[in-house]
Amino acid sequence: MEQYIDRYVDYLRNVKKSSENTVASYRRDLIKFYRYFDEKGITRIDDINETYITSYVLGMEKQGMSMATVSRNIASIKSFYAYLMRERIVNDDPTENIKPPKIVKKVPETLTISEVNKLLDQPTNKTPKEIRDKAMLELLYATGIRVTELVTLKLTDVNIKLGFIECHDGDRVRTVPVAEVAQRALSRYITEVRDDMSGGSDYLFFNCKGAPMTRQGFWKIIKYYAAKAGIDKDITPHMIRHSFASHMLGNGADIKSVQEMLGHVDIATTQIYLTNKQSKLKEEYAKAYPRA
């Protein structure tokens, strides 16, 4: 089975032009799937049937995996078998009747505007590191881009003069506007700091050793400034993305425009942020309505 997984991963990377994060996620799920059956002595792809796969899924649930994780694993396996069917490697799809568990979508936790301001005000711009941190935080909140997109930005993806950046997700490219406050922070970083940190690389952001910034490295930066700001929330880069979307919609932005900026394929993914807006309206109504 392993050879087919390798071929499928090559297909995702070279034909579908999936992002490296997507490719890594699918590969991880499928290697786990392969090892499960390999340990049971089932090594031929044709020997795996619907009953076996159902047992595998139930096993994940018994291990206490979240419904979202189980659902993602099922999606990976179903996509793998769809590829095997197209390539005529298998004649039957044992995943055809296997459905992912229903997931109740939670309203994303966000920061208040006051909390965002506190967080973004923490870097004082007194050191090169703080100038970089300020630029990264301002850019993340100004654009709502994913942390992976932030740390993989190249210098050529930035146009400060026109006020936009270009984000790459696999073979898709989208243009995202950048607010003036973020433009200023970014301009100062590029002008005063970046060249000394870069070591000649074309990436935009670097750690203090001159290597490109990583997701984990930026996560630590956020945790540091959140603690410094006294914000009692488990702040992540994705929470700042959620906050951007929620605040934009709350201030009257068109949902289609927000969808485009976030890079959501399905508008239903963006619509969940409207729940925050509706909750706020209910709170204000309850406070103001005389008979509430």
Return the domain boundaries, the chain. Answer: 2-86, 113-285
- Over residues 36-46, mean pLDDT: 90
pTM over 0.85: no
Find the catalytic residue in 132, 194, 241, 242: 241
Q: Is 11 a catalytic residue?
A: no
Given the residues 146, 194, 242, 247, the one annotated as active site: 146
Per the annotation, the verdict on 146 as an active-site residue is: yes
Provide the pLDDT for residue 289: 44
Confidence of residue 105 (pLDDT cuts 50, 70, 90): low
| Inter-CA distances, 286 with 5, 237, 249, 250, 280, Å | 55, 32, 21, 18, 10
**pLDDT band at residue 61 under the 50/70/90 scheme:** confident
Active site annotation includes 238: yes
CB 68 within 8 A of CB 101: no
Catalytic residue among 34, 81, 141, 273: 273
Q: Is 241 a catalytic residue?
A: yes
Fold of 2-86: DNA polymerase; domain 1 (1.10.150)
- Say which CATH superfamily domain 113-285 falls into: Intergrase catalytic core (1.10.443.10)
Polymer length of the chain: 292
Task: Count Cβ atoms below 10 Å from residue 141 Cβ, excluding itself.
Answer: 22
The yes-or-no verdict on residue 86 having pLDDT over 60 is yes
pLDDT in tens, 206-244: 998 999 999 999 999 999 999 999 999 999 999 999 999
- 23: its two tokens: 């490719």
Is 94 in contact with 56 (CB distance < 8 Å)?
no
Q: With bands split at pLDDT 50, 70 and 90, how would you rate the model's confidence at 292?
A: very low
The arithmetic mean of pLDDT across residues 97-115, rounded, is: 82
